[in-house]
Amino acid sequence: VSFGFEEVTESEKVARVKGVFRSVASRYDLMNDLMSAGVHRLWKHDAMNKLNPQPGERHLDVAGGTGELARAFLDLADKAGKRRGIDAKATAIVCDINDAMLEAGKARADNAKWNGRLDWVCADGQNLPYPDRSFDAVTVSFGIRNFADRVEGLKEFRRVLKPGGRLGVLEFSHMTAPALQAAYDTYSYNVIPRLGSLVAGDRESYQYLVESIRQFPDQETFRAEMENAGFSRVSVTNFSGGIAALHFGWAV
């Protein structure tokens, strides 16, 4: 499998990806804001609205990092419950392979507010420690491109989803206008590693992130991968001209 420009074994990729996120954990949210001028928050907001969280549901956020999506899920589910006078509380689990990311998230999350409804679990998204049909919704944002075997990951998400459960995958993707792709490539290859070096003191990790984005399949190819893994009616929503895309599908 590839890790940036290099070919490595699957276990080597897992170890190196861990190293990347251990290194960037403490500056992770700040770097996201700087790299995307804050726009990643809007993409995540739109993605969670599309997922349509409901009271009483169980949500798993794979590669959840600092837990932004899980908290959004609980917020939106509570709002939906309030509108309809339903008291049942949703619960969410942030699962990440990297304890440094989870610790950074825990330190920031208002855990008291969630009163045991928000859990943090260190596990590999390709091998989830949950029985079949455990969740109503699974999300992965900016995480699946780091998996050693993406297709295995998708199958695993389907396994833990209840029939009719939904999967939302938010990931960097490919620009829909080829002319813009050139400008975006220039930005990402030149500016992002430099920002990484300045803000997080780590140029190499950001170089890897840029390269892993370039290697991720385009919208239609990834849609087919989701369908092959057992998701139906997969829809694609492009954000900011395809810099990111949300793939949404139903587990059947």
- Which residues bind to ligand SAM, rule: CB under 6 A? 17, 21, 62-65, 68, 96-98, 101, 124-126, 141-143, 146-147
> Of 52 and 127, which has the nearer Cβ to ligand SAM?
127
Q: How far apart are CA 159 and CA 152, in angstroms?
A: 11
**195 vs 241: CA distance, rounded Å:** 23
Tokens of 228: 């092959």
**244 three-class SS:** strand
DSSP at 146: G
Residues pairing with 167 in the sheet: 138, 249
According to DSSP, residue 232 is labeled: E
Residue closer to ligand SAM by CB (options 65, 81) is 65
Task: Give the C-alpha separation, 18 to 64, whole Å.
Answer: 14
Q: Which of 93, 42, 40 is nearest to 63 (CA)?
A: 93
Name the amino acid, one letter, at 52: N
Closest CB to ligand SAM among 48 and 234? 48
Cβ at position 94, least distance to ligand SAM in Å: 8
Least distance CB 188 / ligand SAM (angstroms): 14
96-107 per-residue burial string, b: 16 or more CB within 10 A, e: under 16: bbbebbbbbbee
Comparing CB distances to ligand SAM, the nearer of 96 and 225 is 96
CB of 25 to ligand SAM, least distance (A): 8
If the CB atoms of residues 24 and 251 are measured against ligand SAM, the closer one turns out to be 24
Residue type, 81: G
Q: Which is nearer to ligand SAM, 57 or 68 (CB)?
A: 68
Residue nearest to ligand SAM (CB): 65
Instruction: Kindly state the smallest distance separating residue 4's Cβ from ligand SAM, in Å.
Output: 14
Min dist CB 197 to ligand SAM, Å, is 18
CA separation for the pair 248, 235 (Å, rounded): 5
- Give the shortest CB-161-to-ligand SAM separation in angstroms: 16
Q: List the end-to-end C-alpha distance of the chain, in Å, as a whole number.
A: 29
